[in-house]
Amino acid sequence: MNALAVQGLTKDYPHFRLDNISFAVAEGHIAGLIGGNGAGKSTLLKGIVNQIDAEGEITVFGKNFRSDEARLKQKIGFAGGGFRFYPLKRLSAVRKAYAAFYQDWDDRKYRTWLVRFGLDEHKKVRELSDGMRVKFSLALALSHGAKLLLLDEPTSGLDPLSREELCETLLSLARKENVTILFSTHIATDLVRTADEVLLLSHGNLLENCPLSELLSRWKTVRFADVATAAAANAVGLKPGKNGLEGLLPQKAPLPAGAVSRDASLDEILIHLEQAQKEDGNICPRL
């Protein structure tokens, strides 16, 4: 069963369009939403939980989200972009107000997360670092029995050790408690560390939606000696590199004479597919 299904999600702004996004995330899976700044990651997540008025159909655990929003939100934990609300309030006051909205709020679980994340409830929100604000938003989201977590840049502002701890937490929630997770990030290593599926978003368009292993096995990065050789090979997203020109080729594509290849990293796939979209004005076709 899909924990989350999104069909035709669209949002228009004066200079940006989230364009007809459709995907699904199965129960117990972790899906990573990756893309550059301005790709539409936050807009997509906010559109799912109705924080912004967007067109499209959202289904959560088989139920239409728009028609049963209040009940279904009890099953959703949302944490977006750190915690920047109520800067003059102590964490204890924020927790009290937040908990009142959730029937299954678990104060014991919340206290466990406080200890794990090293949070002091006597501090005010404005006294927290960016990383600690992220941890506080996560502690709130994880303390009311949510079975679907929507996380916007959850590792932003965290040091490497804290990022690794969070990745381990997400994996544990999915594998041991069957929690479904959709999280956005611009840090490819965090996605590679945790995600079952990847959604690659660029300028409001969904370029890729597939298992992470499939995406990584589809492409190789190739260094070409000149533009003519790259063009003849139909290289995707050609860009200048340190020692020539680099682009993507399908893994099974023959290697031109003089070209050198390696397995493409997730960052390289993102960069070159975005470059291809910029050049062609449309989404790079699937192979």
Residue 73 and residue 267: Cα distance in Å, rounded? 33
- Average pLDDT of the residues in 191-204: 94
pLDDT at 284: 42
Length of the chain measured in residues: 287
- Average pLDDT of the residues in 112-138: 90
Dihedral angle of Cα 180, 194, 142, 86, to the nearest 10 degrees: -120
pLDDT at 82: 63
169: which residues sit within 8 A by CB, 6+ positions away? none
pLDDT 10s digits, 203-257: 899 999 999 999 999 999 999 989 999 999 999 999 997 778 999 999 999 999 9
The answer to whether the CB of 194 falls within 8 A of the CB of 205 is no
pLDDT at 133: 87
- Average pLDDT of the residues in 254-277: 92
Token reading at 114: 């406080």
CATH architecture for segment(s) 2-203: 3-Layer(aba) Sandwich (3.40)
pLDDT at 81: 63
pLDDT at 172: 92
Residues 213-219: contacts with CB under 8 Å, at least 24 apart: 215/266, 215/269, 216/263, 216/264, 216/266, 216/269, 217/251, 218/250, 218/251, 218/287, 219/248, 219/249, 219/250, 219/251, 219/264, 219/268, 219/269, 219/272
pLDDT at 287: 37
pLDDT at 72: 95
Lowest mean pLDDT among 5-9, 131-135, 194-198: 131-135
pLDDT 10s digits, 61-83: 999 999 999 999 999 999 876 66
Residue 185 and residue 127: Cα distance in Å, rounded? 25
pLDDT at 241: 79
Tell me the pLDDT of the chain averaged across its residues: 91
pLDDT at 37: 85
278 pLDDT higher than 90: no
User: What whole-number percentage of the chain has pLDDT above 90?
Assistant: 73
CA-wise closest residue to 204 among 4, 57, 9, 6: 9
pLDDT at 156: 77
CA 76 vs CA 101, 215, 283: distances in Å: 12, 28, 31
CA-wise closest residue to 238 among 262, 221, 219, 259: 221
- Average pLDDT of the residues in 177-199: 93
Q: What letter does residue 65 receive in the DSSP assignment?
A: T
CA-wise closest residue to 195 among 211, 218, 172, 219: 211
pLDDT 10s digits, 130-186: 888 888 988 998 899 899 999 998 887 788 888 888 899 899 999 999 999 999 998
2 pLDDT higher than 80: yes
Domain ranges of the chain: 2-203, 217-280
Q: Which carries the bigger pLDDT value, residue 124 or residue 284? A: 124
pTM above the 0.85 mark? yes
82: which residues sit within 8 A by CB, 6+ positions away? 130, 133, 134, 137, 153, 156, 157
127: which residues sit within 8 A by CB, 6+ positions away? none
